[in-house]
Amino acid sequence: MQDLYPSRQTASPELHPRIDPVVHGRWHPGAPLTEAQTEHFDARGYLVLENLFSPAEVAALQAETAQLLADPAALEAETMILEPNSGEVRSIFRIHEQNPLMARLAADSRLAGVARFLLDDEVYIHQSRLNYKPGFRGREFYWHSDFETWHVEDGMPRMRALSMSVLLAENTPHNGPLMLIPGSHRNYLTCVGKTPENHYRSSLRKQEYGVPDAESLTAMVRDFGIAAPLGKPGTVIIFDCNLMHGSNGNITPLPRTNAFMVYNAVSNRLADPFGPPTPRPPFIAARNAEPLTICAGPLVDHGG
Amino acid sequence: MQDLYPSRQTASPELHPRIDPVVHGRWHPGAPLTEAQTEHFDARGYLVLENLFSPAEVAALQAETAQLLADPAALEAETMILEPNSGEVRSIFRIHEQNPLMARLAADSRLAGVARFLLDDEVYIHQSRLNYKPGFRGREFYWHSDFETWHVEDGMPRMRALSMSVLLAENTPHNGPLMLIPGSHRNYLTCVGKTPENHYRSSLRKQEYGVPDAESLTAMVRDFGIAAPLGKPGTVIIFDCNLMHGSNGNITPLPRTNAFMVYNAVSNRLADPFGPPTPRPPFIAARNAEPLTICAGPLVDHGG
């Protein structure tokens, strides 16, 4: 398969126009987003949806999450990322196949229906995880385009995927919320592969695989600025697979928790990786592209 | 001298009411702050002053700062804090005695006059520094009360000091701005001294000297919230010596730079440290309490 988005192959970063659309379908009155929302996603690469879920649904997701993080014994060991020092659970991958409520969330029409509309195809979960970032010592997550990694390391051919973060704790300005560079999704920034011999030591430290360079990031932020959507638990942040994003660390007492789902178009299922020959394991990048059966109605039985 | 604010002596943190006033003088119509500003400082422990300096003054401070950071050869070696890897200058201490413009800034009536009013005494510079926090890899600064350190390690007897940060780069919500816990200055949170034997490893990591405990910080943030004043270059943030503060790291391309001056009342000059017997060196904590001669008028000659 032709590599339409080569990266990590040149000694200098390159910025190429995106080949694929952002909104793959065409807006119509029956679409699950308004025309303005659709245009916002197209132009800025992200969208914030509030009040999608009822308080009872949010409470149920939070309770399930707390239980999963506190007692992960029933889960597959390889899907859990633990804190090296304390052994606390930081992330649980492939959560949509390990927990019924998370499976139901992934298939919910309010998420999967929007993904199907924007990607104009049946969709499946490329990656899912539950993230818990504690207060006081939450770590930063450096800038990156997910697509660059998914393409090079996992073999995702085209830009026809998106992520949804369902906030399960409040995003405040101070607890290291997700930061996005709106508009950055419209170009593809390649990452440097072989570090030239004459780079300075300070450059060397940053020239790891898949890490965008400082000069390009500076230009992007100068041109587009930074958005850091805030929101109550239950807020959903949708962002394009090629949007540059990251987050600062968090010394506040306020933890961050979210359920994270990556939807990919079934027509865009993974091929062989375009970089290293061995793809990452399926719990990080699903190779089975069985389309989701989308579910309407509330996530949980309200007991009525 | 009696230790009115003992810390690092007990196995559990303690919260004691502050003995000293916050605003030591009494507001009057000729004061350099409005009555509302004075009450804000008293109640919340900080105050933001904008447009104190002309654009020419701000530009002069920025230019001087850039030159000092780029070519520190003329400065005392011990006053410079360098980045371990790159050798770049991160902070220059005792800047008010090493650079004429910084000396003039420290003595400026718009800063020192306000300090003299709030502390109701002649003032001197307890500590000064120029801070440069780069973009992309700016480090966090964990929560602390300055007074706790100044008292225990430097021998500052009472709470009759304050800090002023003159922003020389913009504070945005995203570049790790100074975070304050408004109202936290009204109590004195002691830090733990000897770590009990039966603590967990995760606790041990946090139980360093002079570090406030997580439980107390959680209660403070729950009761008071967090303020992170934003502002253009030239903005001045004043905060009480006992206000709990810190900052997150910074992955954005936007550096943070400020000139930082700590004013202490001459009547509150340093005694012997209340903790370890040897005080920190004078470039970190001045032991000569010669009062500042306050200067009015512009910082720089406008060439007219």
Structural contact between residues B66 and B88, judged by C-beta atoms closer than 8 angstroms: no
One digit per residue, the tens of pLDDT, for chain B of length 304 reads: 899 999 998 889 999 999 999 999 999 999 999 999 999 999 999 999 999 999 999 999 999 999 998 887 889 999 998 877 777 888 999 999 999 999 999 999 999 999 999 999 999 999 999 999 889 988 899 999 999 999 999 999 999 999 999 999 999 999 999 999 999 999 999 998 744 444 333 333 344 567 999 999 999 999 999 999 999 999 999 999 999 999 999 999 999 999 999 999 999 999 999 988 888 999 999 999 999 999 999 998 865 4
Q: What is the DSSP annotation of A17-64? A: E--S-SS-S---TTSSS-HHHHHHHHHHSEEEE-S-S-HHHHHHHHHH
CB contact under 8 A, A221 and B254: yes
Structural contact between residues A179 and A246, judged by C-beta atoms closer than 8 angstroms: yes
Which of B142, B226, B250 lies closest to A248 in CB terms? B250
Strand order of the sheet with strand B141-144?
A: B141-144, B245-247, B178-180
A142-181 confidence digits (pLDDT tens) = 999 999 999 999 999 999 999 999 999 999 999 999 999 9
B291-B292-B294-B300 Cα dihedral, nearest 10 degrees? 170
Query: What value of ipTM does the predicted structure carry?
Result: 0.88
Distance, in angstroms, between B175 CA and closest chain A CA? 9
CA distance A123 to A289: 8
Neighbours of A145 (CB within 10 A): 27
Which of A142, A214, A253 lies closest to B218 in CB terms? A253
CA distance A169 to B173: 19
Q: What is the pTM of this model?
A: 0.90
Residues in chain A with CB shorter than 8 Å from the CB of B211 are none
Neighbours of B79 (CB within 10 A): 20
CA distance A268 to A287: 11
- The residues of A whose Cβ lies within 8 A of any Cβ of B are 85-86, 135-136, 140, 142-143, 172-174, 176, 179, 201-202, 205-206, 214, 217-218, 221-222, 226, 228, 246-254
Distance, in angstroms, between A139 CA and closest chain B CA? 9
CB contact under 8 A, A221 and B253: yes
Neighbours of A277 (CB within 10 A): 6
User: What is the count of residue pairs from A and B with beta carbons less than 8 Å apart?
Assistant: 77
> What are the φ and ψ backbone dihedral angles of B266, each rounded to 5 degrees?
-60, -30
